[in-house]
Amino acid sequence: MLTNPLTKNIGADNTAADIGRYRENGGYRGWRKALQMSPADIIEMVQEAGLRGRGGAGFNTGLKWSFVPQGEDAPAVRYLVCNADEMEPGTFKDRLLMERDPHLLLEGMAIAAFAIGARRAYIFIRGEYHLAAARLENAIEEARREQLIGDSIPDTDFQLHIHVHRSAGNYICGEETALLNALEGQRAIPRTKPPFPQVSGLWGKPTVVNNVETLCNIPHLLDLGVDWYKNLGRADDSGTKVFGVSGRVRNPGAWELPMGTPIREIIEQHAGGMRDGVKLRGLLPGGGSTDFLGPDQLDLPMDYDTIGKAGSRMGTGTITILDDHTCPVGLVLNLSRFFARESCGWCTPCRDGLPWIVTILERIERGDGQPGDLDLLREQAQRMGPGNTFCALAPGAAAPIQSALKLFEQDFVQHLTRGCCPYAQEQQRVAQAV
């Protein structure tokens, strides 16, 4: 049984980027099967399989597709957009898939576009992903030459044109409606919802926005079936996931594993465990905008609902390690600087709250913190919480702050009582002893 559908073509020689090798390995077989099915049957199949969005939200993909208006009165023009603006701190899974197996993404997009009736699709890619963009553009041309996409796909009246759009940058473009504004050439700010993009999206037409990894799941799901896909997972969630680990581990990287793989297995077996001389203090389970989990939670399975019940989010499934030689205040400050810089400035709690948090953390880190600073941080994090801002950027930025204040409060207190960063002080002491 195929157990690594997302990475089965990825090897050291990168031959999967070539359409010939991709088709030899069964590529575009799912696309051919899809063309023999009705769009409604494809949507039902994806929904039944339980494929959840791999961009972080975890929403059922088939259900999302089903919201696109159908029937005679529905708009004839519809769009599919692939969100490849991978700017979440600590996340690098989509880059791996696009650079090493671009045709897998194109095939998934073709099936999704056919299912929702979109004849034009866009890959909105992070501007820094030059190699991925070049390989995708080459793959599009190869697929067009072999009449897998374009104006004349054999044995069907369906047409599909796929375009690569390089983002001008900004983290907010990961939010689907801000992405659509940027794609239209407007300022990248989130839109009011409803209406949702499936009803009124790109240029006011029904639009589905899916993440790279989500779309890469589709070809094998169509080819091998719902039962096969469901049986890949080790928990309630179906399929596999590209999990990643960064930080002071022996083997940082990314691996395709069953949904529900325990955190401990990912870190200790696949990432090789912690480096010599350092210990695990905590981790961000799904990118920089998730809450910290502690060492006592390593046996949790990595699936959306379990991590959610534990007080965090699985997010992108890429784990960032905090070790005992790294200052948690400095780590949170680094993340907060990023989020403050990337705020689109559309709403007050995010635009003004994040720079204020950076100011407070900077003075704590350099030893100038005041007794009431921790309460100020908690208050600001609460003000940026869910329901208080226009989109999820500020709540995501608040997540590592509020969880760090719970798990590592003594580290913050030591900064205040010592009048300096104790980690910097210890490093200075070691350096002087050497």
**289: Cβ–Cβ under 8 A, 6 or more apart, which residues?**
88, 89, 313, 315, 339, 392, 393, 396, 397, 399, 400
CB 61 within 8 A of CB 136: no
pLDDT score of 29: 96
C-alpha distance from residue 424 to each of 4, 134, 298, 299, 366 (Å)? 43, 43, 28, 32, 10
161 and 35 co-located in one domain: yes
Give the number of other CB atoms < 10 A from CB of residue 276.
7
User: Residue 434: what pLDDT?
Assistant: 45
Q: Quick check: is 207 in a domain?
A: yes
How many separate domains does the chain show? 3
Order across the sheet with 253-258: list the strands: 253-258, 240-246, 318-323, 280-284
Q: Let me know whether 27 and 72 are in one domain.
A: yes
Answer yes or no: is 154 within a domain.
yes
Q: Are residues 340 and 376 in the same domain?
A: yes
**Is the domain of 313 the same as that of 335?**
no
The DSSP secondary structure of 332-345, one letter per residue, reads HHHHHHHHHHH--S
Inside any domain, residue 7? no
Residue 410 lies in a domain: yes
Question: 202 and 58 share a domain?
Answer: yes
Last-in-domain residue among 323, 339, 354: 323
- Same domain? For 314 and 365 the reply is no
> Which residues, including other chains, have CB under 8 Å from residue 201's CB and lie 6 or more apart?
79, 81, 177, 180, 207, 208, 209
Residue 343 shares a structural domain with residue 367: yes
Contacts of 176 (CB under 8 A, 6+ apart): 81, 83, 197, 209
Output the six-digit token pair for 184: 């239209």
CA angle 37, 41, 46 (to 5 degrees): 115
pLDDT of residue 429: 59
Residues 112 and 49 in one domain: yes
Do 419 and 332 lie in one domain? The reply is: yes
Q: Is residue 303 situated within a structural domain?
A: yes
Query: So what's the pLDDT on residue 236?
Result: 85
Domain presence at residue 137:
yes
* pLDDT reported for residue 14: 62
Last residue of a domain, one of 181, 212, 230: 230
Scored b (16 or more CB within 10 A) or e, 390-413 reads bbbbbbbbbbbbbbbbebbeebbe
Distance of alpha carbon 176 from alpha carbon 178, whole angstroms: 6
DSSP one-letter string for 74-126: S-S--EEEEEE---STT--HHHHHHHH-HHHHHHHHHHHHHHHT-SEEEEEE-
List the structure tokens of 263.
């955190």
Looking at residue 338, what is its pLDDT? 96
200 in Cβ contact with 206 (< 8 Å): yes
Q: The domain spanning residue 262 has which CATH number?
A: 3.10.20.600
Tokens encoding 153: 């796909």
The range of the structural domain enclosing residue 311 comes to 240-323
What confidence score (pLDDT) does residue 12 get?
62
Q: Which helix (H) or strand (E) element contains residue 136?
A: helix 130-145
Residue 155 in domain: yes
Which whole-number Å values give the CA distances from 389 to 129, 182, 355, 385, in the listed order? Answer: 30, 20, 15, 7
- Name the phi and psi angles at 410, rounded to 5: -65, -30
Same domain, 205 and 84: yes
Helix, strand, coil percentages in the chain from 3-state DSSP, rounded to 5: 45, 15, 40
Encode the chain (434 residues) as per-residue pLDDT tens digits: 789 999 999 876 666 678 999 999 999 999 999 999 999 999 999 999 999 999 888 899 999 999 999 888 899 999 999 999 999 999 999 999 999 999 999 999 999 999 999 999 999 999 999 999 999 999 999 999 999 999 989 989 999 999 999 998 789 999 999 999 999 999 999 999 999 999 999 999 999 999 999 999 999 999 999 999 999 999 889 999 999 999 999 999 999 999 999 999 999 999 999 999 999 999 999 999 999 999 999 999 999 999 999 999 999 999 999 999 999 999 999 999 999 999 999 999 899 999 999 999 999 999 999 889 999 999 999 999 888 898 999 999 999 999 999 999 999 999 999 988 888 766 665 455 54
Which CATH number goes with the domain that contains 350? 1.20.1440.230
- CATH classification of the domain holding 77: 3.40.50.11540
Q: Where among 206, 230, 254 does a domain terminate?
A: 230
Inter-axis angle of helices 328-342 and 353-365, nearest 10: 150
> Is residue 6 in a domain?
no
Closest CA to 294 of 306, 311, 277, 278: 311
The β-bridge relationship of strands 120-125 and 161-166 is parallel
pLDDT of residue 310: 95
Yes or no: say if 422 and 366 are a contact pair by the CB < 8 Å rule: no
Can you point out the beta strands (E) in 110-248? Answer: 120-125, 161-166, 207-211, 240-246
Q: Tell me if 176 sits within 8 A of 61, measured CB to CB.
A: no
Q: Which of 180, 218, 216, 214 is nearest to 197 (CA)?
A: 180
Residues 269, 161 within the same domain: no
198 with 301, same domain: the answer is: no
Nearest to 131 by CA among 103, 84, 99, 168: 99
CA dist 338 and 332 (Å) reads 10
